[in-house]
Structure 1
């Protein structure tokens, strides 16, 4: 057996789906080491890199602002105005989001033109350049290099967060497609946690090390450059987009072994025949294609929901809540590590449950729990000073909210984006989903301080309403995708897209009898 990890087979019992494709006799394949290695190689330079760069910018904030002040004074021999300093720092932080938005668009088109794997490999050059610019900024006396570096690392994040779920969704067998794509969130939360640890003052969080801290983003890029060439391109891309059956079979054998690749090969061939040579659709064409109308609506709503659900408010209030609980200011960074550990635990839990419980249960349950904790936080933050034990309830609420988010909305959204579309529309769909996510991220970052200042703790009532609205929408509209082929899922959406006039292939066959 290949690498001693070949799968056992198990016959699944089930009814023929309305699309005419029967999941009967589907084989449950335990992934080979090759498949596991590919997930790790893609994740380290993708979601891990993104999460790492989200958290490492926080620790050196005062040192970078001091550097900007000193640079300004050495140039103009005047003190930098506080308002202008805030503006420059805001640009350094927010330009990451602009790079991510542009990177998403580039990533979608690059994945279609040069392939998923090649796009990820080339993308690492962008990360290495970003590390170089940020690493030499202090010695060069140019804070502008920080802006360039943050834009480039944002560009890298946008490309990787668009292409990575494409690749993972296409290499995974359908029975473990959920846990494979949830690997994105596992690596992302792992990146945030490692970034928090490396940013501690005992590590690289000291003032003299901040350029080195920002430059460490080159390490995940180098690891991916070395490891990813050992793994094949997406089999679906090779057969459906490139019509290369030989390389597709070779890739499938590499991932699943020569005894178990045929089930996935048949699945890809069915999709290829159904598409009948259909070319990759652009983003504009997607919005005029009635066959993907509700799929697009779903991913737009879910990606907006991820940003408007209140997770950013939780991180904003975490510092305040921990301080009120009596934790000394200098120890709060260590307590904050607890939030990173919570995210990692829930990402792993989501990965273990998603292919058993299903996507809908986790996302609806996650949003419902978040709505409940929003109510609790509104109450506890309102009466924070009433009793000495109330701040501890607030701490519990903060950690529970993070756990609820990671259990469903944080982990399963990317999985659904990968599953809702077939090969000709998937890349364009990820451009749409990524663009909505990055734009919402930017808007929330700009508007959120005003919401908090205006509503204070009552802002959580707004987030509660958002969470409930998303949960209700998913309950009413989004179908379960667990253990279904991409064609089966497409078929589930057609009655929404075409209404009562839609007739499935099975309905047409019965009508002719």
Structure 2
């Protein structure tokens, strides 16, 4: 591990790119997920007062709940829109420019949030949440692709996991700023919701000093001098001709292949197992039960004797646990491997869910059982943050070749946001009907994903996308051979030839 830290320290521009891209990228995603919990009572009060003054109508509880649910879930709609638009925008404008332009969406949303209380308009919060969702959906793809393409191959896993680290940092930031000692008050909550605008300004003031993705400059724009200049700025004034030649070899292998659409990616039989991997991993990311565990944590903490006014600080503990584990994952991922962490993480989560279901069932019968449940909650968060949280986001950029990357991220982000929206809509029903036995549903997804990744996905560490494509072919050659036509075989032989040259 020290050698990887040394390699990263030798690339200060890559470190700067991690922070500049992250603070205006997936930090926004994590922050927007957690920030609505603290000011919920104040926002509902604004909705009631607005309707009373504007329409002379006092809302019933179910009406207020409906408006609140829409206000929360519209963020997922915006995220889905941003994820769908990401592919074409990233291919057209580039990774860095998309990140920069995306900040103006967040700033517009932040202005609406800050002015909502003064204007007595909860609709401004809805529009702001929609804009935040678009910003997060686009930023999730743009940041991940930008960092994976800017990082040296040996550091790609370590740099890619920072995407998850900034999500965890955003969640913890939303929890921390939401306490009453900071911005979680009746007077200051609009500034809490508008904090995304300040982080967007930070990215706007730092990211312009960093170069565009070298891969985008060479493979999409065909600008070799700009690519070499970007590599020197990112990796130091060394001879990077081998890296350029490696990317050129990929360009030669794919020279007749334009940037592909989502439909073309799905229909390409040579990409079948890469597609299945994306569907399984990103489907499980939202259906693994992490949101359910956070939801039940308050009941567990109450049963363990924590006073109601101290629950917010206990919630800070869960966010801090995820953040610290994500940082630890950053330190070990190059040694352990991304696929290993993914499979172990999901299997560990599945085992923990079984034990958590048992302890929740017994906590009304045995006095010390709530403490076991509390420990299991932190263990579950540990397994999630040590694998799926950090290793999932960069995966499409590693297992897909350049022509398919943007389409792959469009699929991945669409699955992520759709899963988050569906879970938000059906989770209250699951809790009402099944109570803590709803964990058994999440147990299924954790088990399936963990076993699938373990036996069907090759390790991506220190491999190019073309090498990974060959490894997918080798692992599944028996099932694929009868379905690959002659032209497809010729394309794969081209990849094999390139791989031997490396």
TM-score past 0.5 threshold = yes
TM superposition score normalised by structure 2: 0.93
> Which residue is equivalent to 2:461?
482
SS in 1 for 2:460: coil
CA apart distance, 1:266: 2.4
> Which residue is equivalent to 1:347?
326
Change (3 A) 1:87 1:8: closer
Q: CA RMSD in A?
A: 1.9
Tell me whether 1:318 sits opposite 2:291 in the alignment.
Answer: no
> Which residue is equivalent to 2:500?
none
Tell me whether 1:431 sits opposite 2:410 in the alignment.
Answer: yes
Quick check: 27-36 or 97-106, which moved more? 27-36
> Distance in 1 between the 2:363 and 2:8 partners?
52
Tell me whether 1:196 sits opposite 2:141 in the alignment.
Answer: no
Out of 278, 281, 285, the residue aligned to residue 257 of structure 2 is 278
Quick check: 385-394 or 221-230, which moved more? 385-394
For 1:139-154, list aligned pairs within 5 A.
Answer: 139-154=118-133
CA apart distance, 1:322: 0.4
Deviations 1:375-405 (A, max 9, x none): 1111110111222211100000111000001
Deviations 1:296-340 (A, max 9, x none): 111111111111111111011001000100000010000111111
Tell me whether 1:257 sits opposite 2:236 in the alignment.
Answer: yes
Contact 2:318 2:378 in 1 (8 A): yes
Out of 104, 116, 120, the residue aligned to residue 99 of structure 2 is 120
Tell me whether 1:500 sits opposite 2:481 in the alignment.
Answer: yes
> Which residue is equivalent to 1:336?
315
SS in 2 for 1:139: helix
> Which residue is equivalent to 1:464?
443
> Distance in 2 between the 1:508 and 1:136 partners?
58
Contact 1:253 1:261 in 2 (8 A): yes
SS in 2 for 1:217: helix
Change (3 A) 1:288 1:349: same
CA apart distance, 1:462: 2.2
Out of 149, 157, 167, the residue aligned to residue 136 of structure 2 is 157
> Which residue is equivalent to 1:366?
345
Tell me whether 1:239 sits opposite 2:218 in the alignment.
Answer: yes
Contact 2:8 2:14 in 1 (8 A): no
Tell me whether 1:42 sits opposite 2:21 in the alignment.
Answer: yes
Contact 1:127 1:218 in 2 (8 A): yes
Unaligned segments of structure 2, at least 5 residues: 498-502
> Which residue is equivalent to 2:192?
213
Change (3 A) 1:222 1:488: same
> Distance in 1 between the 2:414 and 2:262 partners?
11
> Distance in 1 between the 2:75 and 2:305 partners?
34
TM superposition score normalised by structure 1: 0.91
SS in 2 for 1:208: coil
> Which residue is equivalent to 1:266?
245
> Which residue is equivalent to 1:58?
37
Tell me whether 1:135 sits opposite 2:114 in the alignment.
Answer: yes
Contact 1:31 1:255 in 2 (8 A): no
Contact 2:21 2:207 in 1 (8 A): yes
SS in 2 for 1:149: helix
CA apart distance, 1:425: 0.4
> Distance in 2 between the 1:332 and 1:382 partners?
22
> Distance in 1 between the 2:157 and 2:435 partners?
38
Tell me whether 1:102 sits opposite 2:81 in the alignment.
Answer: yes
CA apart distance, 1:8: 9.0
Out of 172, 180, 193, the residue aligned to residue 159 of structure 2 is 180
Deviations 1:444-473 (A, max 9, x none): 111111112222122222222221111111
